[in-house]
Amino acid sequence: MKDNLTRSLTRAQRSFTAFTTGQKVVAVLGTGALLLAAFMVFSWASKPAMTPLFSNMSAEDTAAVVEELTAQGVPYEIAGGGTTVMVPQDTVYETRIALSGEGLPASSGQGGYSILDGQDLSTSEFQEQTDFKRAMEGELSRTIEGIDGVGTAVVHLALPQKEVFADEQEPATASVLVSTSPGAALSPEQVQSVVHLVASSIDGLDPDRVTVADGAGTLLTPPADSAMGAASTRAQQVSEVQDEMTRRIQATLDRIAGPGNATVQVTADLNFDQTVTESTRYEPDPDNPPLSSSEQTETYEGAGGGLGTVGGVVGPDGQMEGTDGTVDGASSYEKSTRTQDNAIDTITEVRESAPGEIDKLGIGVVIDSGNAAAIDPNQVQQLVAATVGVDPRRGDTISVSSMPFDRSAEEAAAAEIAAAEAADAKSAQMTLFRNAGLGLLIALLVVVAWLKSRKKGKQRAEATTYVVEQLRADAAARAAAAQQAALEAQTPAMAALAQSENALTDDLRDELASLVERQPEDVAALLRGWLVEKP
């Protein structure tokens, strides 16, 4: 085994020595690349899969856990900005149980309602109130930290003592300090969730008295009664209305003119005045019976009795002028009066208008005349008006124009993107070519080495055959010469000498044959040295 290894190393050394300088450099680089690739593959295959052991830990808990893992010899990784410790997946449960037995992480079982576990009959009222406030602060902090994007949260509560005989109580207040994860920010909806979460957890806490701030000191919940808070709320509401209408109109225009061939701007005037309207209506109900009813009838009847009546036209002196002067006959009179008080329903309506109603809209649409010249602006105007509900009675205006767009910026950006994509494609192509060339070069080196080894093996076989043939020819010549000398001398002494020479020749031949079989490379090298030596 040792002789084979020595011969292999000697062959490799001689083969490397026979290379040119370029071949030596390529062989060294190829061997280094193969070793590096094998090392990377081995490292990747031998690296264990990591899984979180504990998450959302404080810096003190992380330091204690890392120290214990180092003492136990467990490999670990730190992630999540120092709040998460990861260990190999196959040992996570054993490690977690072992650390829990050591009381780690230390703050995992502290805070929150666990503070109230130590209270007994000797606890004072002040201590009870303080512990209750600390417990609520801890529980709220943990709950807020469960929101996506929140790293840590600190809650402070101001709960005034309730006065029994006081007419007015001091209101409860709360302040929340949140630290977001790197690269994350709380949205307005998340801030409102934090506000209402805290307000709903404390009895008598008004959401307007909850203050939320971030780690940079930015106030996320400005007071609702302040000018800044009101202006911010109104501006946000106006922006949301304008963005929603712009999105709806732009989606319609993109379907008509194509993406990038039309643009729209919407200006909304909102009314933030809160008004209350009260109206009263009186309507009779025919189904209800009348409240009161009275009826009066007056009748008169009488005979003529020779009395005459003057007929004709009333004259200037108030006397009747006629032809006759008397009328015979009876007279009658009848009068009826009915009074009824009906029940009347009274309807009182109180309407309170919410702030944020749209007072007026201004919409401007511009269509690219170069790419969408066939589009009728009047039809676009009617379509946009129907999409967002334009009302001319309240003063809404809409304008649709067609003009060429300046696309120099878009073309420059497209050219830069195309150049970047071309550069990336070229880089990927060059990387592919380099890897393919390196692989081809390594394969070529392997083939060349294999061919050279075959050629050297063939040369060794030829040299061995040549040496053996030469030795055999030399031995035959010597044997023939010895026999000839023996025949000529024909003396006992000469016969014995010839026999000894023949025996020595046979021994030498056997030894040389054995040497050729054991060390064919050395014999071939020796023969090459003899052949190149000058006489």
- pLDDT tens digits for 173-209? 999 999 887 777 888 888 989 999 999 999 889 998 9
E-assigned strands of 199-291? 205-214, 262-271, 275-284
Written as tens digits, the pLDDT of the chain (535 aa) is 566 667 777 777 777 776 677 777 777 787 888 788 777 777 776 677 788 888 777 777 888 888 889 988 888 888 877 778 888 888 888 888 888 777 777 655 455 666 666 667 777 878 888 888 888 888 898 889 888 888 788 899 998 887 777 777 788 999 999 988 777 788 888 898 999 999 999 988 999 899 999 888 888 886 655 555 566 677 878 888 889 999 999 998 888 888 888 999 999 888 877 778 888 887 777 777 777 778 888 887 766 544 444 455 555 554 544 444 444 555 777 888 888 777 677 788 888 777 778 888 999 999 988 877 788 888 888 898 888 888 888 889 999 988 888 888 878 888 888 888 888 888 888 888 888 887 787 888 777 777 766 666 566 566 566 666 666 676 677 777 767 666 655 555 455 545 555 555 566 666 666 666 666 677 667 666 666 554 4
The Cβ of residue 190 has, within 10 Å, a number of other Cβ atoms equal to: 19
Q: How far apart are CA 90 and CA 65, in angstroms?
A: 18
Q: What ranges in 202-339 are assigned the alpha helix state H?
A: 227-257
- 495 and 486 Cβ atoms separated by less than 8 Å: yes
CA triplet 390, 394, 397: central angle to 5 degrees? 50
327-377 pLDDT, tens digit each? 455 577 788 888 877 767 778 888 877 777 888 899 999 998 887 778 888
At 47, give phi and psi (nearest 5°): -75, 125
Q: Domain limits of the chain? A: 50-108, 120-160+171-221, 239-285+342-405, 409-483+498-518
- Nearest Cα residue to 238 out of 271, 264, 275, 192: 271
* φ, ψ of residue 379 in degrees (nearest 5): -65, -40
Domains 120-160+171-221 and 239-285+342-405 share a fold: yes
| Architecture of domain 239-285+342-405 in this structure | 2-Layer Sandwich (3.30)
* CA distance linking residue 338 with residue 535, whole number of Å: 167
Q: Give the homologous superfamily in CATH for domain 120-160+171-221.
A: ANL, C-terminal domain (3.30.300.30)
How many Å apart are CA 531 and CA 463, to the nearest integer?
11
CA 298 to chain CA centroid, Å, is 95
- Check: CB of residue 511 under 8 Å from CB of residue 468: no
- Identify whether 492 is preceded by a cis peptide bond (ω within 30 of 0): no
- Residue 198: per-residue pLDDT: 93
How much is the pLDDT for 535?
46
Look at strands 172-180 and 205-214 and give their pairing: parallel
CATH class of 50-108: alpha beta
